[in-house]
Amino acid sequence: MIGLAGLMSVTAALLLVAGDGGDYRRGRDFAERYCKTCHGRPDADVPAPDFGVIARRVQGRSDDELRQVLHNPPHQRMPNYNQSNEESDDLIRYLRDVARGYPP
């Protein structure tokens, strides 16, 4: 018998996981293919900080704010890939996981 409080916290944890869209591995694959031509490449035509740095920088922003960044990059040099919402969620998951120590 785990008790009502225990049951409620298990349910809350499950809801948190369920609401947490996106997949780190898919996000990382996408970044590998489309983003790391600049990010983490000091020798690129348009060099940008690696995602370890970027992930920490954007940590405080909400998912919606990050979606805005990914769909309408604020700076001109970053191409807009028109990725699907799922791909954006994967990239956001990736950035969040990198911010807490996953490999960029």
* Positions in the binding site for ligand HEC (CB under 6 A): 31, 34-35, 37-39, 46, 48-49, 54, 57-58, 69-70, 74-75, 77-79, 81, 91
Provide, rounded to whole angstroms, the least separation between the CB of residue 100 and ligand HEC.
16
- Pick from 83, 91, 77: nearest CA to 37: 77
Q: Which is nearer to ligand HEC, 20 or 29 (CB)?
A: 29
Provide, rounded to whole angstroms, the least separation between the CB of residue 60 and ligand HEC.
11
Q: Which is nearer to ligand HEC, 54 or 99 (CB)?
A: 54
Sign of the C-alpha dihedral computed for residues 94, 100, 18 and 72 taken in this order: negative
DSSP letter (8 states) at residue 35? I
Instruction: State the CB neighbour count (10 A cutoff) for residue 57.
Output: 13
Q: Which is nearer to ligand HEC, 42 or 74 (CB)?
A: 74
Are residues 75 and 96 in contact, defined by beta-carbon separation less than 8 angstroms? Answer: no
